[in-house]
Structure 1
Amino acid sequence: MAYLIRFLSTPFIALAMTVSSYVEGSNDTSRIEYCKDCTNGVIKFHYLSEILESRQKIDIYLPKDYELGAENIRYPVIYTLDGWTLSELVGGVVRHLSQTASMPEAIVVSIDQNSAKGITPQLYNSRSGWSDNPKDKAFWSDENGAEEYLNFLKNELMPFIDQHYRTNDFKALIGMSPTASFAMHSLITQPELFDAHFMFAATDVIGMGYTPETTLIDSLVQTLSKRPEHKGFLYVASSMREAHKQPAQQNNSEALTDALKPFKNFKVKVEHIKNYGHYPMAVQGLLSGLDLIFPRAKFDSSTILNHMRENPQNGTVTQQLTQHYQELSEYIGFEIKPYSNLTRNANSLRSVTRMLRKEGRFDEAVELGELWVKQQPKSAYAHHKLSETYLAAGLYKAAKKQNLQSLSIAKANKDPNMAHYINQKLKIAKQLGTPVQATSNN
């Protein structure tokens, strides 16, 4: 049975310890505190696969405040190969975009698969531009481990992720250079396994083929022809510098775009990125690929909540919000929830609830505050803010109930904001005319 090595089962508790260490320019380390386990939502472990008979290094990037969410708050998963160069990039960009109301929150699973050779399909250079002889084999495809690695993903790693984390059915796969051929092979042979495929440094790869006479483009067309209504996303890009050196890459780009035009439900984007080389192009490529799935024109919510608040003629904020996220969910194919609590961002339930409360629109503020608590029932802060809203609305008993809930959660988690919750308790007691002792634990 496959098992984990060094699985971090409590990634959300930061355990700090003071250690003696050299600090440049000073021998005093008394004021320096090093985090033993400050993961910031990143979990790292090794997965020992029975199928591969080897261990794979896995990094998991969870959405901010993941641990506070309700069971029905579930996330798409973005799997990226080549963790040695893409792990922090993909995890960081997805976290940044989701925390600035620019894309739905997602789980990122990065795999450092040790070697690209062990997972690539057997390919010929065909029309890749790598050699004048199409019968030459791709230099990194001397092993045909693609099927075995697909088996590992499908039957070991992906079920493990789905079992241990709150995932939905939407999955994306990212590969780069050699591993882009694996991503394309996955799409061709098992098109239902992933909903989206990103292939970086790969406009040459798509010109390779399973035979010297064909290309991966030809094979993909054959697959999609058997399922013309198939829905999916394919993003392929390379460095413009490399495309100038290998004109075949531009030819492949045009061939892929033209070949997939008949498949209306299958969205594709192919491009060459200026000013960046083979590996750095992945930074711009990732942004462009995510925009293919979550187009900014639809998913950028950086102003949406304020707009709803300022236009009550269109309905209550809750009504407008429900309609907006229902439309987004129908577009992408999985349920998307409003952002609960974004840092320094007006487009979250926390911020809009506060603004509605200041405007005296208490019914709407209560609705959104209750929605926030429903989405993050384990958040002491969410319960505290709902208590504040109830108190402002004159609903003192309801305010007391939420305050008690915030105190209970805060005490269990040794919340540093406990003093605020205790102060709220005193305010409520004053309104109810109930005497109370202000202690640190009550």
Structure 2
Amino acid sequence: MTEPITTPFGFASTADEVLAGVDLTGKRAVITGGAAGIGVETARSLAAAGADVVLAVRRVAAGEQAAADIAASIGAQRVTVRALDLADQDSVRQFVADWDQPLHILVNNAGIMALPELERTAEGWEMQFATNFMGHFALTVGLHDALAAAGGARVVSVSSSGNLFSPVIFDDLHFAFRPYDPLLAYGQSKSAEALLAVEVTRRWAGEGIHANALNPGAIATGLQKHTGGLRTPKERQKTPQQGAATSVLLAASPLLDGVGGRYFEDCAEAPIVSERPADYSGVAGYAVDPGNAERLWSVASDLIARRGTGRLPRRPGSAEPAQDRPSGWYDWGGGGSCGRGRMAMAGRLPGRLLLRREDSDRAPLIVALLLWVMFDAMPGLWRSVRRSGESGVPDQLRHGQRPR
């Protein structure tokens, strides 16, 4: 087992201190939920270090105000705003379709917490799972090509100590059977966010893409509006600048070059715990388990594949519309291109087979196998069935005569 990663920074460090001396000129970053809380401070510090930052936000006016405030504080116009509603998969796909350049940093920061009543999206997904995880999953997968084009990109999942409240309940993700509980739903979504970082690294590290997850700490923001405010003891609370420190460490510090699939808090790798500590520190083993991460990726892919067959926006860099498929997927038998990557069968659409692009070149093998089944194995099997069936049939019936 590798030694936990430590850095010169800690609980009280600020985002500006973590990035002191780091030059991000020429780098592009997307931060979800960057109009408030630690998202604003994450954007401010990245932009101050020279990065071009996009705030991907649901409330565009609030994002534009945040961008103006950041520009005034750093003396440069490096922050722009684009609309993104993570609870709306069409909004996510449109954001992806509009993105047309390499992306060096993706900070999956936005989130909602402890909705008092069970709410669902149009797909029937529980709202916290849909917003905190499914929206970020679709965004991350959709931006894969842009991240790969950056030649060394980082994905940051802003999880929380909420992971200690619940694993991902694969048999009842959306509370169809369990009584709804606001904190269990939040905990499940935050465990899912941590698992996303594990699987992104496993799948994409070979393309220079690494992902890590983090607990930013206890920061008084609008996130706690359904819980009666922040109740953490004062000595354990952080300012938004301190809360953003671990985010920018994972996003841009050279100290973490080539590091992925891990979970951090207070600017250091967190210990894996087997039960919830009294101070809510550490990360539950189920939230960083590779098997859980792989399973969740598959489940999330299937959820998106099943959500509908409407016409999708044009894929970036593609001459054809991405019709009837999520971005980053291919259809075989409906005119889609196979392209680079393994084709994993994920579901069916009318008249075509929906295939998911992965990370190796197995498309020719799968095509050959399908052709063999269609033109060799199935006809032979059918002939065998007919011969077997006829062997026990009287001659009169075989030739259409009624027996006497």
- Larger relative contact order, structure 1 or 2 (CA cutoff 8 Å, min sep 6): 2
Which TM-score applies when normalising by structure 2?
0.30
Which TM-score applies when normalising by structure 1?
0.28
